[in-house]
Structure 1
Amino acid sequence: MGKVVLVGDKYTVNLFKMMGAEGTIVEDPLALPQIINEVKKRQDVDLVLITKDIYNPVRESVDSIILNQKKPLITIIPSPFSEAEALDVKRMIMAALGFG
Structure 2
Amino acid sequence: MGKILLIGDRYTVSLFRTMGAEGKVIEDPFALEKEIETAKKREDLDLVLITRDLYEPVREKLDGVISTQTKPLVTIIPSPFSESKPVDVRKMVLKALGFG
Aligned partner of 2:91 in structure 1 is none
User: Aligned equivalents of 1:19 and 1:64: distance in 2?
Assistant: 30
Deviations 1:31-74 (A, max 9, x none): 00000000010000000000000000000111111011110001
Deviation of residue 84 (structure 1)? 3.1
TM-score, normalised on structure 2?
A: 0.83
Count of residues in correspondence between the two structures: 86
What corresponds to 1:3 in structure 2? Answer: 3
Q: Partner letter of residue 41 of structure 2?
A: K
Q: Which has the larger radius of gyration?
A: 1
- Aligned residue runs from structure 1 range 11-90, under 5 A: 11-84=11-84
Counterpart residue identity of residue 12, structure 2: T
**Measured at CA, do residues 64 and 10 of structure 1 come closer, stay the same or move farther in structure 2, by a change above 3 Å?**
same
Q: Which amino acid aligns with 1:43?
A: E
Runs in 1 of length 4+ with deviation above 4 angstroms? none
Unaligned runs of at least 5 residues, structure 2: 87-100
Secondary structure in 2 matching 1:5: strand
Paired residue type of 1:69: Q
How many Å apart are 1:85 and its aligned residue? 5.3
Letter in 2 for 1:32: L
